[in-house]
Amino acid sequence: MPLDIYDFSSFTQWVHQSLDAVMSPFWVITTEMVLVGLAFLTFYAIVGLMLVLAERRICAFMQCRLGPNRVGPWGFFQTIADLIKLLFKELIYIKKADKLLFNIAPFIVIIASFLALAAIPFALGLHAVDLNIGIFYIVAVSSLGVIGILLAGWSSNSKYSLIGAMRSGAQIVSYELSVGLSLITIIVLAGTMQISEIVELQRDGWFIFTGHISAIIAFIIFLIASTAEINRGPFDLAEAESELTAGFHTEYSGIKFAFFFLAEYMNMFIVASLGATVFLGGWMPFHVYGWDGFNAIMDFLPPFFWYIGKTAFIIFIIMWFKWTFPRLRIDQLLTLEWKYLLPINLFNVVLMATLVLLGLHF
């Protein structure tokens, strides 16, 4: 199997064994945790920087302009320059703000996005933890961020922030349902919640192709609902800069604002990874059942690039939404969820169950 040459588990095994040879099991675990943490921090920073740059370039492309192109080649260091600026900016403290909650809120948002990264498989064997309830874990953890947003809105002692936070609460609680149900549709098809197994099951074709019409409906609903869940346009009501100036983070400045900003991009990345893993096969190359020669050619591209490519594709679609659509109103947003997406989704789960029971899927 040519794929095995890209297997990262041999590398992780080697790290584990080398550490085991020199220290006690307790220290091995601790060192490994620190290593994984450092790796994730680096990855987080790189992805955040790249996504900000990508968004600016893509949005410029859609708006007939050039975007950042002066700092470094192709504006490569623009986000780094921005980051330095944000680091040096004054942190403004608000009178009568709830100091504790005001300071905690950005960390809750960023920790929530950090936690979800743990369960995502980046390539064959490149996994922090392979939980047997991986999807459930990601869905549960990624919705923790709303607590941070609500706290930010409440503790700022600003009416604009409060309205933004309330909108965000209503929105995330509603759209969480649709994200969950569209994932359940695929869980029905896969029969497992363990992410590594879900990816492995897509060796003979990604779920969006093998899952019949039902998987396509689920994928579309997932795209819409996850865009709403991460508060991005056209569902960016929590920020809604033309109505609420900046919504829940109106009163934040400097690096605390940067945390919200970064968390938004990381959430987008997580959602895109999840979509890529569950619907588009994660790191699994494009395979067609039976075409062994074709599959072998596809396997030459390392899994990590397949994973990044698919994630980038979904991120591009999410950005495309934002830069072409007007924003919805809060009542229209809730109508869309409760009157359209939720019933379609429930029907879709039943449809998928029927398909699986009758064995009609490919």
Partner 1 sequence: MAIKVDTDHNVSPDSQEFIINMGPQHPSTHGVLRFLLKLKGETVTQIQPHCGYIHRGIEKMCEKLTYPQIIHLTDRLDYLSAHINNEAVCLLVEDALGVEVPERVKYIRTIIDELSRLASHQLWWCAFGMDLGALTTFFYGLRDREKILDIFEQTTGGRLIQSYNVPGGLMNDIHPDFQKNVKEFIKYFRKILPEYDQLLTGNVIFHNRSKGIGYMSREDIINWGVTGPSGRGSGFSCDVRKHAPYSAYDKVVFNESLEQAGDTFARYKVRIAEMWESMNIIEQLIDNIPEGDFAVKMKPIIKLPEGEYYQRVEACRGEFGVHVISDGNKYPYRVKFRSPNFINLSAIEEMARGQKIADLVAISGSLDLVIPDMDR
Q: Minimum CB separation from partner 1 for residue 167, in Å?
A: 8
Q: What is the spatial distance between Cα 74 and Cα 58, in angstroms, rounded to a whole number?
A: 13
Q: Minimum CB separation from partner 1 for residue 225, in Å?
A: 16
Q: CA-CA distances (angstroms) from residue 89 to 83, 250, 252? A: 10, 15, 11
Q: Minimum CB separation from partner 1 for residue 83, in Å?
A: 23
Q: Which residue, among 43, 41, 39, has the nearest Cα to 15 in the 3D structure?
A: 39
Residue with smaller CB distance to partner 1, 264 or 299: 264
Residue with smaller CB distance to partner 1, 313 or 321: 321
Residue with smaller CB distance to partner 1, 169 or 234: 234
Residue with smaller CB distance to partner 1, 229 or 236: 236
Residue 126 pairs in a beta bridge with 123
Q: With contact defined as beta carbons under 8 Å apart, do 75 and 229 qualify? A: no
Q: Which residues contact 152 (CB under 8 A, 6 or more apart)?
A: 102, 105, 106, 109, 161, 165, 248, 249, 252, 260
> Which residues of this chain interact with partner 1, rule CB under 8 A?
59, 62-65, 159-160, 163, 167, 233-234, 236-237, 240-245, 323-332
Q: Minimum CB separation from partner 1 for residue 268, in Å?
A: 17
Q: Minimum CB separation from partner 1 for residue 171, in Å?
A: 13
Q: Minimum CB separation from partner 1 for residue 316, in Å?
A: 15
Residue with smaller CB distance to partner 1, 114 or 175: 175
Residue with smaller CB distance to partner 1, 332 or 354: 332
Q: Minimum CB separation from partner 1 for residue 295, in Å?
A: 40
Residue with smaller CB distance to partner 1, 5 or 317: 317
Residue with smaller CB distance to partner 1, 27 or 325: 325
Q: Minimum CB separation from partner 1 for residue 17, in Å?
A: 53
Q: Minimum CB separation from partner 1 for residue 60, in Å?
A: 9
Q: Minimum CB separation from partner 1 for residue 234, in Å?
A: 6
Residue 195 identity: I
Residue with smaller CB distance to partner 1, 67 or 254: 67
Residue with smaller CB distance to partner 1, 289 or 320: 320
